Every structure is written in structure tokens, then in C-alpha cells.
């Protein structure tokens, strides 16, 4: 077990500097263009693939970093470059985490490589959980998966929404209801292979921020997938459903559902994304305050500006520490007894919204224009308190964990 330290080792520093260089030299120069186009930045993803960043090997190396800091460090640097483009580069990771959290070793080895493709033919993948009437309320999910025993196939029907890479992905990971009577405990995850009949893209969303990342509905109409596309396998599912029925009958402890297993594993990473965006906005504001003069002196000479910057940096560092703690705990097998994963996501996402808003204010009228990047960063930061569990849901998780009570 790796000992806890706040000092990155030489290998981690090398990776951090390499990612920072890619973010500065490749992502940032393209950020404004793809934000305006509101399209997937395929050329940038391909550059990331050529550099070895958009690949299974790279994410595996970071995921298995014994300190747990590989993934949050990578997320922070890429999102420091630009949130929309970075999400296009890392969005496949949520689907990959879904397979890692719920799949067998054979499924992991089969499907995750297909999610990325290669530098000459890049692919993306999508994780499909939210629905028009089931976002935070996962128990209201309506997408159904029915087992056709005669053909050993699952038949999926329903509509998913807010799916990153939805419809343009090769591989889709879809969470569906297999036992409606069990509510959120009766869910399972399925692989929908490339070019499967019945899967189509619905509405593509025009978004406030992260506009370079593709977000759309995914429509499933009598989508048939082989039995081996049920993540974890049918035997494991049947055992889990049986335990859920027993516990439901006895009023016992809850059973985690497939979507929640994915989100719990990814929340500190989302916190790291928020830290990257907040840090980027803070650095722009700091540079601006040191060079912008009013009344014959730099505006940072005024306590009203200087104290804001001091608070911004303090909050960013505090957010990073919460993210690192949660990531280290997850990697070293320490349970989130106080919902530390949700704490990290909550604080970091709220910090990103606050810091980017302060950056716009420090730049004044310039901050409100697209000539300066803080306007885009402020729009991008709004998503962190919404996706993969809103701030309200994070507070609910934390409060329930601390109190042991079914707070609603």
C-alpha cells in the first residue's frame, strides 16, 4: 500500500508536465473555435491519440497509479486547457469506468479497446443512464431490458438523455431496468455493440457550456444484444437480484445499482476537472490584475481585488486536497465512511462556479466578452454542479452517510 504524501513523485511530475504542455500547445489554441462550432473536435482527439493520451494504455496507467493521484492529476491538467475539448477527450472514460465497475475480465478486455480505436481511426464511447424523467431520481428509470431466453438475447427499449457522445459513439453502455419491482436495485448495465440495429441518436443539445462535447439523446427501439453483453453476466445478476429481493422483504440494507457504482467511482475525477477549470480562470485573473492599471496602479494593489484572488487560490487548493484524499482512499481500499467522494465533487464543483464568476468580475467588461477565456470558463463551470450528481444530491449523500438516516 502506497503511503500518503502530498508530493508527486518524479514519474507523476513528468506526466503532469507532458499533459500540461499538450493542454497549452494543442487544446487551448483550439478552444474558442470548437466552442463556437459546437462540434466534436475530432482533429484534437486524434492529436491526443497520436500523443498517447487518448488511449486505453494511458488511462490504465493513471487508473492503476498506486497513490490514486494519476487520474485526478490528468483531469486537472487537461481541463485546465479547456473543459469542452477535454471532455471530448475523456468522455469515453465514463463508459470505460462503467465496464470496469460492473464487467467481467473478459468483457473489460473485449470492449474497452473498441471504445478508443487507434490513432488512425479514433472511436468514442457513451455511458447512457439519465432519462427525460429520471435524472437524480434513478428509481424512475423506464428503459427496460427483457431477456429472450430462447435466443439468449436482451431486448432494450427506451430513451436516454444527456449522454456524452450519445449516438456518435461506437460502443454504448446502457443502464436499464430488469426488475421494475426492485426500483433502483433492479437495474443492470449492457453493452450495445457498434452498428446494432434499433439504436439511434435523438436530439442533440445546444448547451450553455462545454459546447465542444457532444451531448444527445439515445433512442433504443427493440435493440437486441447477445447475452454476453450483460455486464457481469446473468449468473451474477440473478444472485444480486435475489439478494435485493431478500433485503427488500426484510427491510435490510440497500444494494448499489449499476449506475451508482459508476458514478461513485468517477466523482473525484469530476472534482479534478472542476479544479482544472477553476485554476485556469484564477491564473487569467491573476495575470490580468497584475497588468491592468487603473488610477495609475495595477488593480491588484487594491485589497478588494487582492483578497478575492487570495480566497480563490485558497479554495482551489482546498478542493484539490479533497479530490486527492478521495482518490487516494479509493485506490487504497479505504471506505468512504463520510462520503468523501461526494465531498470532493461537491466542493470542487461549487468552487469552480464561484472562482470563474470572480474571474469574470475581476476582468470587468473584458471578462464578459469572448475576447478573454474566462467568459467561456464561467459557462463551462456551470456543468460541474449538475452532471454526475447535482450538488443537492451530493449533499444528500453526505448527510445520509453522516447521519445514517434516510434523509429526503
Task: Give the mean model confidence (pLDDT) for residues 51-56.
Answer: 94
For residues 115 and 92, is the Cβ–Cβ distance under 8 A?
yes
**Where a domain ends, among 250, 285, 318?**
250
Indicate whether 265 and 392 sit together in one domain: yes
Quote the pLDDT of residue 260: 58
Instruction: Specify the pLDDT at position 255.
Output: 47
pLDDT digits (tens, 9 = 90+) for 319-330: 999 999 999 999
CA 63, 69, 75, 81 dihedral sign is negative
Distance CA 24, CA 163 (A): 28
What's the domain count of the chain? 3
pLDDT, tens only, 89-100: 999 998 998 998
User: What's the whole-number mean pLDDT along residues 114-127?
Assistant: 96
- The mean predicted confidence, pLDDT, of the chain is 94
- In terms of residue numbers, what domain contains 398? 258-403
pLDDT of residue 97: 87
Residue 21: per-residue pLDDT:
98
Tens of pLDDT along 124-166? 999 999 999 887 777 789 999 999 999 999 999 999 999 999 9
CA distance 58 to 68: 14
End of a domain among 227, 250, 273? Answer: 250
Strands 215-226 and 144-148: unpaired
Q: What is the mean pLDDT of residues 341-362?
A: 98
Q: Judge whether 408 lies within some domain.
A: no
Q: Which of 194, 26, 205 has its CA nearest to residue 124? A: 194
Q: 408 vs 23, which has greater pLDDT?
A: 23
Q: Is residue 129 domain-shared with residue 212, that is, in the same domain? A: yes
CATH number at residue 346: 1.20.140.10
Q: Taking 90 as the threshold, does the pLDDT of residue 208 lie above it?
A: yes
Neighbours of 135 (CB within 10 A): 18
Closest-CA residue to 345 (of 323, 360, 364, 324): 323
Average pLDDT over residues 192-206: 98
The reported pLDDT for the residue numbered 146 is 98
User: Same domain for 106 and 163?
Assistant: no
Q: Count of H helices and E strands in the chain?
A: 14, 11
CATH code of residue 223: 2.40.110.10
Which range has the worst mean pLDDT, 50-59, 205-214, 306-315?
Answer: 50-59
Rounded to two decimals, the pTM is 0.93
> Where does a domain end: 250, 281, 309?
250
In this predicted structure, what is the pLDDT of residue 252? 55
Q: How far apart are the first and last CA of the chain?
A: 38
Options 77, 153, 388, 392, the catalytic residue? 388
Q: Name residues whose C-beta falls within 8 Å of residue 29's C-beta, 6 or more positions apart in sequence.
A: none
* 381-390 confidence digits (pLDDT tens): 999 999 988 9
Cα–Cα distances in angstroms (integers) from residue 91 to residues 17, 168, 172, in the given order: 22, 12, 12
What is the H or E stretch that residue 296 is in? none
CATH number, domain with residue 57: 1.10.540.10
Same domain, 155 and 137: yes
Residues 191-201, mean pLDDT to the nearest whole number: 98
Query: pLDDT band at residue 265, thresholds of 50, 70 and 90?
Result: low
| Whole-number pLDDT of residue 388 | 87
Strands 171-177 and 293-294, bridge-based pairing: unpaired
pLDDT in the model for residue 290: 98
CB atoms within 10 A of CB 138: 20
358: pLDDT strictly greater than 90: yes
pLDDT of residue 407: 94
To the query of whether residue 283 is one of the catalytic residues in this protein, the response is no
Burial of 10: CB neighbours in 10 Å, binned 0-12, 13-18, 19+: exposed
> Are 375 and 267 part of one and the same domain?
yes
Residue 4 lies in a domain: no
Residue-level pLDDT at 262: 56
What is the model's pLDDT at position 24? 98
CB 226 within 8 A of CB 190: no
Amino acid at each position: 500500500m502506497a503511503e500518503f504524501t502530498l508530493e508527486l513523485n518524479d514519474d507523476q511530475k513528468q506526466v503532469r508536465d507532458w499533459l500540461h504542455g499538450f493542454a497549452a500547445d494543442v487544446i487551448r489554441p483550439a478552444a474558442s473555435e470548437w466552442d463556437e462550432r459546437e462540434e466534436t473536435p475530432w482533429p484534437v482527439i486524434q492529436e491526443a491519440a497520436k500523443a498517447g493520451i487518448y488511449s486505453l494504455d494511458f488511462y490504465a496507467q493513471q487508473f492503476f497509479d498506486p497513490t490514486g493521484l494519476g487520474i485526478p492529476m490528468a483531469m486537472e491538467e487537461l481541463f485546465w486547457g479547456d473543459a469542452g475539448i477535454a471532455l471530448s477527450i475523456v468522455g469515453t472514460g465514463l463508459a470505460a469506468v462503467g465496464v470496469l465497475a460492473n464487467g467481467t475480465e473478459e468483457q473489460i478486455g473485449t470492449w474497452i479497446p473498441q471504445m478508443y480505436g487507434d490513432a488512425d481511426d479514433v472511436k468514442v464511447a457513451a455511458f447512457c443512464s439519465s432519462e427525460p424523467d429520471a435524472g437524480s431520481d434513478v428509481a424512475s428509470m423506464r428503459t427496460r431490458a427483457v431477456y429472450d431466453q430462447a435466443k439468449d438475447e436482451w431486448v432494450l427499449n427506451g430513451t436516454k438523455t444527456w449522454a456524452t457522445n450519445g449516438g456518435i459513439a461506437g460502443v454504448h453502455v446502457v443502464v436499464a431496468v430488469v426488475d421494475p419491482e426492485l426500483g433502483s436495485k433492479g437495474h443492470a448495465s449492457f453493452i450495445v455493440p457498434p452498428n446494432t440495429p434499433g439504436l439511434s441518436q435523438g436530439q442533440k443539445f445546444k448547451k450553455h457550456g462545454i459546447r465542444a462535447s457532444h451531448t444527445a439523446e439515445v433512442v433504443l427501439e427493440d435493440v437486441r444484444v447477445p447475452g454476453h453483453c450483460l455486464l457481469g453476466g446473468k449468473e451474477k445478476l440473478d444472485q444480486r437480484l435475489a439478494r435485493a429481493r431478500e433485503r427488500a422483504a426484510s427491510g435490510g440494507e440497500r444494494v448499489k445499482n449499476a449506475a451508482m457504482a459508476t458514478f461513485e467511482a468517477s466523482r473525484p475525477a469530476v472534482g479534478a476537472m472542476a479544479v482544472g477549470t477553476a485554476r485556469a480562470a484564477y491564473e487569467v485573473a491573476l495575470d490580468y490584475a497584475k497588468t491592468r492599471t487603473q488610477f495609475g496602479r495595477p488593480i491588484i494593489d487594491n485589497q478588494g481585488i487582492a483578497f478575492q484572488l487570495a480566497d480563490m487560490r485558497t479554495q482551489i487548493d482546498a478542493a484539490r486536497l479533497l479530490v486527492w484524499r478521495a482518490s487516494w482512499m479509493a485506490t487504497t481500499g479505504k471506505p468512504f465512511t463520510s462520503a468523501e467522494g461526494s465531498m470532493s465533487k461537491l466542493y470542487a464543483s461549487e468552487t469552480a462556479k464561484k472562482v470563474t464568476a470572480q474571474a469574470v468580475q475581476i476582468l470587468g467588461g473584458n471578462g464578459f466578452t469572448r475576447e478573454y477565456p474566462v467568459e467561456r470558463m464561467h459557462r463551462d463551470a456551470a456543468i460541474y454542479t449538475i452532471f454526475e450528481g447535482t450538488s443537492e444530491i451530493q449533499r444528500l449523500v453526505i448527510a445520509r452517510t453522516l447521519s445514517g438516516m434516510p434523509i429526503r
